[in-house]
Structure 1
Amino acid sequence: MRWGRTPDSAVTERDDDGYADLRSYAAIGDGRTLALIARDGRVDWLPLPGTDGHPVFAALLDAADGGCVELAPVEPYTVRREYVGPTNVLASTFTTAGGSVRVTDSLNTGISGRLPWTELARRIEGLEGRVELRAAVRPGTCLGQASPWVHETAHGPVLRLADMTMAVRTLGAEDVVPGDRRIDVTYVSSPGSRQLLGLVGTQAEPLVLPPAEELDAGVDRTIARWTAWSEAFSWEGPWSDAVRRSALVLKLLLHAPSGAMVAAATTSLPESLRPREGVGGKTWDYRLAWVRDSAYALTALFRFGLREETHGAISWMLGSIRRHGPEPRVCYTLDGELPRGALEADVPGWRGIGPVVSGNPAGEQLQLGVYGDLFAIVALYVGDGNVLDAETGRMLAAVADLTCDRWQSRDSGMWELPETRHHTTSKLGCWVALTRAVELAEDGHIPGDPSRWRSEAERIRSWVEEHCWSEERGAYVWYPGTDRLDASILLHAISGFDRGERMSRTLDALREELGCGPHLYRYSGMAEEEGVFLPCSYWMVSALQLCGRTREARELMDALQDTPNDVGLLAEMLDPATGALVGNLPQALSHLALVNAAITVATTS
């Protein structure tokens, strides 16, 4: 089944309640926030001023009252869309019976970098014939927390919501009609015409009102900046289109003000289209930064030769851990603070699947794998020719000492489950931490005597080999005493713990029990609760390659090429019955796994 590519098509992807299929979304961003635009031209998700800010436009989760920015032809139409070259600026061509028009969507950047305000620019270019378009800028209720209104000023109407102030800027509009909670605009295009719908916004500060012509010029400036960024990284390996698009998505998810890698741009998108009674939709808030994601991100960013992003990411992470240490946490807010628990909003959720939440309780869990993630990042950083500061060296030595004691504890595991166990891959995360700590100490990067770290690393290896291998299953099991399997063991073919016969047999067992086409479920029993977990599919590619099964790795990678949607975006999961994307999107871990799989195959063949 070919799910990913959709050429010119009529837009019929919204259900009766107004929710669009998740596969229909494209993403644009400015380094601080990110917008999701459906194929019908509607911006259904745009938090302000940042990704974790006010959900000002959130029809994605509340079609009736969430708010959106609409722009589409009045007549029935088909649409074809693509990104403008190697950029995160989107171009959609709408064709009606009377003509065609191109809409170019950009979250603009400034002359010297990110703008101090948010600037959404939607350029409208007439191609053929005459096309009437209707637009509406209608903020929502911030998921039931505030009420928008239109305020008349000496410079025209502005929109207010909570502490946000926004203004609509237009060029070549036929009519602009302010209401009490929205602003409606009408356009008519003709061959060669050029018009614009723009939105500028600030939080708790005065609002600049740039002329619409400046917003229009900002589109070209933003295209040029994205193009220059894309030309700065190097990738000449296989699957280049998917790798380059994933790199651009990852750049969208790097939070420029702090350097943090956002796990996903959204909250509360369900992991299953058919939630079981009592299970719910498995809806989580991923607008946080996981240490794990940062670890995988650096592998890709180093390979692409990107130094600004790698330095920003590791500096954010190390600073956050120092501030809240000594024990590293699973995740942090984008400004490096500790996340709060989940708060529920009284809104329906995407297609009525809730709850809709803000915040994530994972930050309070013990997950031992984070120790390995931390040391893997640092090892990559110094291995790329960089030097640690003295304070970081002392902190890492203290964390290594802590790991020697903590590895024996039960934890929630990588999948953040409420019941704690002696998870196999959690122990192996500690093994990664200690083996990397020994290497760092021997090379003079961190202080201390590594003899204890080396001894405890060997003790972990022996424990896993004795307690976590099942000859009956022919696989490493999820935890001692079970015959259930866990796909996160793939990460420890990648880490180097085992690339021999046992790991190779484990790959076969995973594909047999957890496999669904080219994809995998996270662990035993998940086929009834959620979609396949897309990062696992790409981790399997890397694991096959590193276990010497190159032909299978390449065949699997080829089979995965139609998994992204028509503009190259991946969510967290996929419903194998329909090919529908499920879970939050775009998902950093999915794109990171894709990129690193391509790198692994290209560099170890």
Structure 2
Amino acid sequence: MARRTTAPPASRDSGYVDLRSYGAIGDGRTVALIAEDGSVDWLPIPSLDSIPVFARLLDADGGGAIALAPVEPFTVKRRYVPATNVLETTFTTDSGVARVTDALVTGVAGRLPWVELARRIEGVDGDVKFRWKVAPGSRLGSASPWIDVTTHGQVIRIDGVTIAVRGIDNGARRSGNQAIAGTFTTAAGSLHQVTVVGTSNEPLHLPDPGNVDRGIDRTIENWRAWSREFNYDGPWSDAVQRSALALKLLIFSPTGAIAAAATTSLPESLAGGKNWDYRFAWVRDLAYTVTALIRFGLREETHGSVSWLLRTIRDNGPDLHVFYTLDGDVPSGVEEHDMAGWRGNKPVVTGNPAGGQLQLGVYGDLFDVMRRYVEAGNILDAETGRLLAEVADTTCDAWHRQDHGMWELPDVHHYTSSKMGCWSALDNAVKLCELGQIPGSAARWAAERDAIKEWVEENCWSEERQAYTFYAGSDDLDASILLHGPSGFERGPRMASTIDAIRDELGAGPLLYRYSGVQAEEATFVSCAFWAAAALACVGRQDDAVALMDELVDLGNDVGLYSEMIDAESHAFLGNFPQGLSHLALVNTAITIEELSRD
């Protein structure tokens, strides 16, 4: 899916490019980000949550990159090979045209046991001279790469990671003591290849370049086979399928966990300061993802993600945590690294400080996952039933407490959307009990559910603002309340007027800020705008929902990807990328609008 004609690549301002410039590829274990100018500026090895070996994204000088581009000035046109996460970039110069196909190669039986980034360069017309360089960085300021000469050729080693460069007619040579580089010139019909393979604390397999080339084609077919199982023929189908493919990049296949984003430390504001690591699995994001996976008929990913969540909760219980590592552990704090940061925005961190917070909405997220899983025709085991009954009992007491809210804020309050999340948890617990899937006291859960509803209506509704407020006693607004049109908490006049109040105060064109007063600190939050469209559909304003959705779908980048945030004026991307929640919001809003249009 290409959204524009051939254009010059985004400029590298002080060594960095706009976040809109990036396309993403992956293999089920890690993700690479490739700029329009052909540079791979982000690639953790071996896993998505590893310390990245190539991190020019966060440090233009020392982060490391895999550069590949024509020597002459050029223009670029990009697309994903249809129905895949394989990126195709066409470079045009005054002397010719060449096409680069980038893939993180997958094997016959799924992901390879090593990372294999393959770059196939084909001459299309005339001749184009290319220059390339594989230059690992300092692993966020922790180590130095060096070239080691072995009996099978040169490798680059850095802090346990071993990297080799293979290829076809690529002119490879040593470049100093820390990099491998080369040049070649394409001609019409010519074939060249630059392939980077890597492992961490494991032996390294050196693939045959011919096998790699066949592997690119196999990877394309593997993605297309997955896409053939994908089932959605409603409105905005191209954007929905691209978002589904983006979400597939964030599913960590070794465990079934779903990462919130592929990166860390990309700022939510050009002023800096709000830089977090999103390479963890949030229960909230998994809940929304399962909704989409079920709707698309993707049974294996659905079961894998649900099983991972339940296993992880049991292993780290009894408390339900907000998020977990991709391996299913409880995260351990934050480490700050001495790196420049994207365009000088610090800090660069690994870890996320929200791990120890109380966020009551997570109870609603868990039960939403389980209800949808059961409604899709699945059966819960007895141990899971008992676990969920215990969580429902906990929710009956916990909803009275103050928490940090969905936005992981430092101040605790009786956040309205948290109470609504507890309402949703108990409402779904009652339904699961009535379906015979979990034991327990449905009567108690129903009584507490109704008590939460009454408390919210009395304490969190503002007659003056005609809206549900941010938290009890506040007159501020919170866009996360929009989630509770689809949840069923409120689909009547109160939700309708809340939507209008939120869009009036927090709106910036079709986009929305997260909550009152945050406009001075960060850009608009992409998900919130999609939530508004879904909420509009839930209150019966179908035409408004469709019109808003049409505007939002056009705000992705040239290959259909979304970041966490978008600047209201320039539409520049901010925050971590690609952001799962943004793509989930697009997908689930499209599903909501499509389903309600049939009612």
Letter in 1 for 2:8: A
**Residue 103 (structure 1) aligned with residue 94 (structure 2):** no
2:480 to 476, 488, 504: 488
In the TM superposition, residue 519 of structure 1 has moved relative to its aligned partner by 0.7
For the 8 Å contact 1:174–1:188, the answer to whether it is kept is no
Q: Does the CA-based 8 Å contact 2:42-2:54 persist in structure 1?
A: yes
Number of equivalent positions: 596
Match of 2:212 in 1: 215
Which residue of the partner structure matches residue 11 of structure 1?
A: 9
* Residue 12 of structure 1: how far off its partner (Å): 4.2
Structure 2 counterpart of 1:122:
119
Shift of 1:555: 0.6
Q: Following superposition of structure 1 onto structure 2, how do residues 345-360 of structure 1 map, counting pairs within 5 Å? A: 345-360=337-352
1:268 aligns with 265
Which of residues 557, 570, 588 is equivalent to 1:596? 588
Aligned 8 A contact 1:326 1:395 in 2: no
The answer on 1:391 being equivalent to 2:383 is yes
After TM superposition, give the deviation of residue 112 of structure 1 in Å.
1.0
CA distance in 2 between partners of 1:423 and 1:64 (Å):
43
Q: Does 1:67 align with 2:59?
A: no
CA distance in 2, matches of 1:488, 1:131: 50
Deviation at 1:170, TM superposition (A): 1.7
Q: Residue 560 of structure 1 is aligned with which of 552, 571, 583?
A: 552
CA contact (8 A) 2:524 2:566 kept: yes
1:498 aligns with 2:495: no
- 1:24 paired residue number: 21
Question: Aligned letter for 2:169?
Answer: G
Is 1:431 paired with 2:400?
no
Whether 1:158 aligns to 2:150 is: no
Amino acid at match of 2:302: T
SS at match of 1:560: helix
User: Is 2:47 the partner of 1:50?
Assistant: yes
Task: Note the alpha carbon deviations across 1:198-255, whole angstroms, 9 max, x for none.
Answer: 0111111111111111111110000000011111111111111100100100111111
State whether residues 10 and 21 of structure 2, in contact with CA within 8 Å, keep that contact through their aligned partners in structure 1.
no
For residues 231 and 336 of structure 2, the distance between their equivalents in structure 1, rounded to whole angstroms, comes to: 43
Matched, 1:363 2:361: no
Q: Classify the secondary structure of the residue corresponding to 2:318.
A: coil
CA drift of 1:6 comes to 3.6
Mapped pair 1:404 → 2:396: yes
Secondary structure of 1:127's counterpart equals strand
> Shift in Å at residue 175 of structure 1?
4.3
- Shift of residue 85, structure 1, vs aligned partner: 0.9
Question: 1:563-574 residue pairs with structure 2 within 5 A?
Answer: 563-574=555-566
The one-letter amino acid paired with 2:39 is R
SS at match of 1:569: coil
CA contact (8 A) 1:369 1:425 kept: yes
**2-structure distance, mates of 1:597, 1:13:** 34
2:83 and 2:11 map into 1 onto residues whose CA distance is 27
Deviation at 1:10, TM superposition (A): 1.3
Contact 2:10 2:18 in 1 (8 A): no
Say which SS state the counterpart of residue 106 (structure 2) adopts: coil
Contact 2:137–2:144 (CA under 8 A) maintained in structure 1 = yes
**Counterpart amino acid of residue 442 in structure 1:** E
- C-alpha distance in structure 2 between counterparts of 1:55 and 1:43, whole Å: 12
- Residue in structure 2 matched with residue 197 of structure 1 by the alignment: 194
- Give the residue type in structure 1 aligned to 2:335: L
Q: Is contact 1:56-1:142 (8 Å) kept?
A: yes
Query: Alignment partner of 2:204: what SS?
Result: coil
Deviation track 1:404-432 (CA, whole Å, cap 9, x = no partner) reads 11111110000000111100111111111
8 Å contact from structure 1 (residues 13, 24) kept in 2 = no
Checking the alignment, whether the CA contact within 8 Å between 1:78 and 1:95 is kept in structure 2 is yes
In the aligned structure 2, how far is the partner of 1:211 from the partner of 1:600? 48
RMSD: 0.9
| Contact 2:172–2:180 (CA under 8 A) maintained in structure 1 | no
Range 411-420 or range 168-177, more displaced: 168-177
C-alpha separation in 2, matches of 1:175 and 1:393: 58
Give, in whole Å, the separation in 1 of the partners of 2:346 and 2:132.
29
Residue 417 of structure 1 is matched in structure 2 by 409
Query: Equivalents in 1 of 2:318, 2:453: separation in Å?
Result: 25
Q: Would the aligned equivalents of 1:326 and 1:399 in 2 still touch at CA under 8 Å?
A: no
Shift of 1:325: 1.3
Provide TM-score, normalisation by structure 2: 0.99
CA distance in 2: counterparts of 1:432 and 1:472, whole angstroms: 26
2:520 is the alignment partner of 1:528: yes
SS in 2 for 1:9: coil
Query: Contact (CA 8 Å) 2:10, 2:36: kept in 1 or not?
Result: no
Residue 507 of structure 2 is matched in structure 1 by 515
Q: Matches of 1:307 and 1:293 in 2, distance apart?
A: 18
Structure 2 residue identity aligned to 1:83: Y
**What's the counterpart of residue 80 of structure 2?**
83
Question: How far apart are the structure 2 equivalents of 1:147 and 1:497?
Answer: 54
Of the candidates 471, 474, 477, which is equivalent to residue 469 of structure 2? 477
Preserved CA contact (<8 Å) 1:175 1:187: no
- CA offset at residue 178 of structure 1? 4.3
Unaligned segments of structure 2, at least 5 residues: none
Single out whichever of 135-144 and 206-215 deviates more from structure 2.
206-215
What CA distance in whole angstroms lies between the structure 1 residues aligned with 2:548 and 2:174?
A: 53
Q: Distance in 2 between matches of 1:475 and 1:569?
A: 33
Which structure 1 residue ranges, 4+ long, deviate > 3 Å from structure 2? none
Indicate the percent of aligned positions where both proteins have the same amino acid.
Answer: 59
Q: After superposition, what is the alpha-carbon deviation per residue over 1:13-34, rounded to whole angstroms, capped at 9, x for unaligned?
A: 210x200100000000000000
For 1:357 and 1:476, locate their aligned partners in 2 and report how far apart those are by CA, in whole Å: 35
Q: Which segment is superposed worse, 174-183 or 452-461?
A: 174-183
Query: Following TM superposition, by how much is the alpha carbon of 1:54 offset from its aligned partner in structure 2, in angstroms?
Result: 2.3
CA distance in 1 between partners of 2:289 and 2:170 (Å): 43
1:343 aligns with 2:335: yes
**CA distance, structure 1, for counterparts of residue 8 and residue 436 of structure 2:** 62
Answer yes or no: is the 8 Å Cα contact 2:131–2:184 preserved in 1.
Answer: yes
Give the CA deviation at 1:179.
Answer: 2.6
The answer on whether the counterparts of 1:157 and 1:178 sit within 8 Å (CA) in structure 2 is no
* Structure 1 length-normalised TM: 0.98
Aligned to 2:485, what secondary structure does the other structure show?
helix
**How far apart in 1 are the matches of 2:51 and 2:507?**
39
